[in-house]
Amino acid sequence: MISKVHDRFIRYAKIDTQSDPNSETCPSSKKQLHLAKELVKELNGFGLKDISLDKNGYVMATLPSNIDGEVPVIGFISHMDTAPDASGKGVEPQLRENYDGKDIILNKEKNIILSPNDFPELLNYVGQDLLTTDGTTLLGADDKAGIAEIMCAIEYLVENPELPHGIIKIGFTPDEEIGRGADHFDVEKFGANFAYTMDGGEIGELEYENFNASMATIKIHGRNVHPGTAKNQMINSLMIGMELNALLPVNQRPEHTEKYEGFFMLMSFNGSVEETSMMYIIRDHDMNKFKKKNELMLKAVEYMNTKYGENTIEMELKDQYYNMKEKIEPVKHIVDRVERAMIEVGVEPKIKAIRGGTDGSRLSYMGLPTPNIFTGGHNFHGKYEYIPIQSMEKAVTVILKLIEIYAKG
């Protein structure tokens, strides 16, 4: 099991599954199906039941119960896509055995260095074995580590049929990184009472709170004339965009916030004098504060349209997902059981709020309470991403212990 999680992750990481936010299809990129088909093949090899890959790229399977009596049906879910903001093509994970606490040269030619001076948490893993990037792509631990951990745990149960377990459901989703991972997830077909996403960060993370989230898509219409005769004639959409951004609080940007502090994040800003497009994401754990942030964005656009003319700025403000805490707290025992499982296998639980979202947040509102468990990775979505192999191994043991706890009732 231990060597398999390492090998399995590397194999999955090398498959390009980058999602595409500009695509209207599901999955947003056909290449995600390459991994989906590989997973179906492996699940068939395990001898699981009800294995399916639907037209939207969702993989589901069932490990039947081997015990008498009824216990809750639990599921484990991870997403197959990698983030669109960093290359997922040509991923070549690098094994760094027995890490010595010093700088790691990821790419000598490009002078890309993973250093504890920049990422001090590296020092927590001295003596352990790390998987890093080669400095040219992301690693893909978000969330192929989660997939590898689930697959290794299920294979271990299949190979050791004397280990008691209830019905276990497996789900792998596309397009989580672009906020669409639960769009076509069939909760009724999945058939679990509760589920867990293996999609967290460092070892010990256990999360059942996440951001409330919205996205603002903005178009600004300007008027371009020759700059020599521009006075009282030109309307520079780029400058209007800058002015709009200046209306939002500087101290509520991601680089100035932490823990339960929400933010406005300018994700893109592209255009010309004639027309500019902008995109923001808006986040807050507290629903009232979240609503006020959305109201502030609406008022800022209204003010700019009053100043520069009606419909100078067009904005679509759309909610994306909500804080799962409201849906998890009534069944808090599903979190308590994970905490117990961690303690029993020697992992210190770190219960915290996600400064982001997972498939679990939307699934919880779709009737499937789904908290989030660590995978072990760090610095997701970029060339400084890494994951300790020992953390992945512990994630597998947590899954197995959790299944055991449910089987015992």
| DSSP per-residue codes, 225-293 | --GGG-TTT-B-HHHHHHHHHHTS-GGGSGGG--TT--EEEEEEEEE-SSEEEEEEEEEESSHHHHHHH
Cα–Cα distance for residue pair 283/320, rounded to 1 Å: 10
Identify the CA nearest to 78 among candidates 397, 370, 384.
370
Sheet holding 212-221, edge to edge: 263-271, 275-284, 212-221, 313-321
Q: Give the class (CATH, top level) of 2-210+323-408.
A: alpha beta
Question: Residue 123: CA atoms inside 13 Å, Cβ hemisphere, count?
Answer: 5
pLDDT of residue 359: 86
- Annotation marks residue 103 as catalytic: no
* DSSP helix/strand/coil, 53: strand
The residue type at 58: Y
pLDDT of residue 1: 53
Does the reported pTM lie above 0.75?
yes
How is the chain split into domains, by residue range? 2-210+323-408, 212-320
- The helices-and-strands tally (H runs, E runs) of the chain is 10, 17
Residuewise pLDDT in 10s, the chain (409 residues): 556 899 999 999 999 999 999 999 999 999 999 999 999 999 999 999 999 999 999 999 999 999 998 999 999 999 999 999 888 899 999 999 999 999 999 999 999 999 999 999 999 999 999 999 999 999 999 999 999 999 999 999 999 999 999 999 999 999 999 888 999 999 999 999 999 999 989 999 999 999 999 999 999 999 999 999 999 999 999 999 999 999 999 999 999 999 999 999 999 999 999 999 999 999 999 999 999 999 999 999 999 999 999 999 999 999 988 999 999 999 999 999 999 999 999 999 999 998 887 788 899 999 999 999 999 999 999 999 999 999 999 999 999 999 999 999 8
Identify the CA nearest to 280 among candidates 264, 293, 292.
264
In DSSP terms, 284 is beta-bridged to 212
Contact indicator for 354, 323 with CB cutoff of 8 Å: no
Percentage helix, strand, coil for the chain under 3-state DSSP, each rounded to 5: 35, 25, 40
Topology adopted by domain 212-320: Alpha-Beta Plaits (3.30.70)
Sheet holding 74-79, edge to edge: 49-53, 59-63, 168-173, 74-79, 194-200, 372-374, 205-209, 350-353
Contacts of 79 (CB under 8 A, 6+ apart): 143, 146, 172, 173, 174, 175, 176, 177, 181, 199, 359
Give the gyration radius of the chain's Cα atoms.
Answer: 23
Sign of CA pseudo-dihedral 355, 360, 363, 369:
negative
Identify the CA nearest to 202 among candidates 402, 348, 407.
348
- Annotation marks residue 176 as catalytic: yes
Sign of CA pseudo-dihedral 365, 76, 44, 167:
negative
Active-site hit among 81, 143, 149, 175: 81
| H/E element, 365 | helix 359-365
Identify the CA nearest to 63 among candidates 76, 81, 80.
76
Cα–Cα distance for residue pair 95/77, rounded to 1 Å: 26
Structure token pair of residue 41: 């093949």
Active-site hit among 16, 176, 177, 202: 176
